[in-house]
Structure 1
Amino acid sequence: MKKYILTALIVIVAVIFVVIKYWDHITNPWTRNGQVMASVVQITPRVTGPIVELPIRSNQFVMAGDLLFKIDPRTYEVSLAKARANLDATGYDLISLEEQIKSAKASLDEARANVEKVNTSLKQAESQLYTDKREYERQKVLLPKGSTSQKQVDRSRTAYEVSEQNYEGAKASLTKAKASVRQAEASLAKARANLGQVGEDNAKLRTAIANLQQAELNLEFTEVRAPVDGFVTNLLLRKGSNAAANHAALALVDVNSYWIDAYFKETSVGKIM
């Protein structure tokens, strides 16, 4: 009898234990299928060159902004100096081109004024030619009548011929003056085309400024700093080795990005605290 009672007690205790464990599993779900995860930030240099400073080691903790490694800056310092010199030279070239435009404008104004002057001379020569021609014609009519002398006729003919030469010379001068205006206009157009847009919108100036900014950025990129707080991993560099642009050199495990991936039954999700 005692044997059956003991067996029954053991069974009851076992059942109670199973019920308790099952209830605990239902009300406090857990799993062995879980992983702690974190974001990994790949550190990729923006420029190429040999490593001259490497103050970190694998698994070292670094703060955002800490120097991870430094690429030899000398090449990029030279490029920056060249970009600055090029910007200065571009500025001087633009000043020179602006002076050329002013000179071309002055030459054009002078050529146009000369056209007006020559045109006036042409009108005067034309008027004088008309007068001398009429006088010559008049003298020729008067000669047979004895109202003038041959000497006077010859004199009027000479005056007419001189006026005719002056008129032809004035026409040639006007043609030449107009050609000078066209040449001055072409020179002004060429000077304006060489200069381009005036001021900050000038293409040559914008290009020189952009090259300078790029050179400044490239020099800044020789110092590679941590973008986040984290642990160094996958460190592939050594001091003196060559860092290649756009190729990952190491990685940082972001300490502010940890999360847990775990497997739970869908019916248990609501009970997870």
Structure 2
Amino acid sequence: MKYLLAATISLVAIVLCGIVLWRLNLAPSTDDAYVYADTINVVPEVSGRIVELPVSDNQAVRQGDLLLRIDPRPYQAALDQARARLDTLNNQIVLTQRSVNAQQYNADSVQAGVERARAVANQAADTLRRTEPLLAQGYVSAEEVDRARTAQRSTQAELDAAIREAQQASAAVSGVDALVAQRAEVKAQIAIAELNLEFTEVRAPFDGRVVSLRTTVGQFASALKPVFTLIDTRRWYVVANFRETELKNVHAGTPSTVYLMSDTARRFTGVVDSIGYGVLPDDGGVVREGLPSVQRTINWVHVSQRFPVKIAVRNADPVLFRLGTSAVVTLKRGDATSLAR
């Protein structure tokens, strides 16, 4: 009878061990897990003294809420100065354009004088060409030919002088291209000043929670230097470290169940978002001078490597979930599509 009872107990124990191993193989679980969420450093893009800080440490904020304001007065003054420069430059362009127009009118007038002088010179040259052959025939006197030659030389000289004057008048037309180029530069400065003025207000890019706030109004904030951290509370994850022997048939989309150590009574569902593809080994594999260094000792019990599995939680409670909270994760291996249904 004693042997039968012992055999029954042993059989039951074996069956229970088999069931436990089967369940572990079907749904591996680990308590080496923690809550994770994306974070950003709240960094002002301009330097200045903080004049408004309407948030407090660990406060929840909504997208678009004001997080901090840098003193806008220097940047407003820079914008006003750039705009005043643009107004002055526009007025200067108008006045210069009037002067250019006058110069152009003068150049056109001088050019018209050149055409008149050319016509007179051509007429004098034609007269001389007609008169010179008549001198040998006795139809004109030598004095008349001399007068024609003098007229031709005089009108040609007047034409040359008119051409030089027209060249000078044309060269005097300055234009406003340089001022227009300066206006484009000033407009770019205005755009930069407007952007810097806009950067004096730092607003929340998403729903989140303020953490690591260690400053207050009056502190000088430097550009590109973090002031505090903002946790993205729109999406929560749990990073669970599973043994490599448990990752078979686990892939993106595999369903999972999560509960937190802070409240073990509540269960949350999720799916595998991704599986880590690289970890730094604790021993061996160190490369020195181009060659791997492997320890001489041999572990009689081989410890399986663990890889992080990132799980996207579907029904996370933003009040309960905190970055770094310990968690327990159970995976449901198999066909993720059928299990999800």
TM-score bracket for this pair, using the shorter chain length = 0.7 to 0.9
* 2:168 paired residue among 156, 165, 183: 183
2:110 corresponds to: 111
> Which contiguous aligned blocks of 4+ residues in structure 1 show a shift greater than 4 angstroms?
3-6, 123-135, 159-169
2:159 corresponds to: 174
C-alpha distance in structure 1 between counterparts of 2:196 and 2:165, whole Å: 51
How many equivalent pairs are there? Answer: 248
C-alpha distance in structure 2 between counterparts of 1:38 and 1:116, whole Å: 84
1:146 corresponds to: none
**1:63·1:226 contact (CA, 8 Å) conserved in 2?**
yes
* Larger Rg computed on CA atoms: 1
**2:53·2:69 contact (CA, 8 Å) conserved in 1?**
yes
Structure 1 stretches lacking a partner, 5+ long:
142-155, 196-201
1:243 pairs with 2:221:
yes
Greater helix content: 1
**2:47·2:222 contact (CA, 8 Å) conserved in 1?**
yes
Q: Deviations over 1:16-48 (max 9, x none)?
A: 432332232223321122222211112221111
TM-score, reference length from structure 1: 0.75
CA RMSD of aligned residues (A): 3.3
1:266 pairs with 2:240:
no
C-alpha distance in structure 1 between counterparts of 2:29 and 2:217, whole Å: 47
Return the structure number with greater relative CO, CA threshold 8 A, min gap 6. 1
Deviation at 1:251, TM superposition (A): 1.8
* 2:207 paired residue among 213, 221, 229: 229
C-alpha distance in structure 1 between counterparts of 2:148 and 2:177, whole Å: 45
Greater strand content: 2
Q: What SS does the corresponding residue of 1:259 show, helix, strand or coil?
A: strand
Q: Deviations over 1:184-203 (max 9, x none)?
A: 22123x326545xxxxxx53
Structure 2 stretches lacking a partner, 5+ long:
255-331, 334-338
Going from structure 1 to structure 2, the CA distance change for 1:26 and 1:185 (only over 3 Å counts) comes to: same
**1:41·1:251 contact (CA, 8 Å) conserved in 2?**
yes
Alignment of 1:43-58 (within 5 A): 43-58=42-57
| Amino acid paired to 1:224 | V
Going from structure 1 to structure 2, the CA distance change for 1:6 and 1:128 (only over 3 Å counts) comes to: closer
Q: What SS does the corresponding residue of 1:235 show, helix, strand or coil?
A: coil
Percent of residue pairs identical:
33
2:268 corresponds to: none
**1:237·1:243 contact (CA, 8 Å) conserved in 2?**
no
C-alpha distance in structure 2 between counterparts of 1:248 and 1:34, whole Å: 28
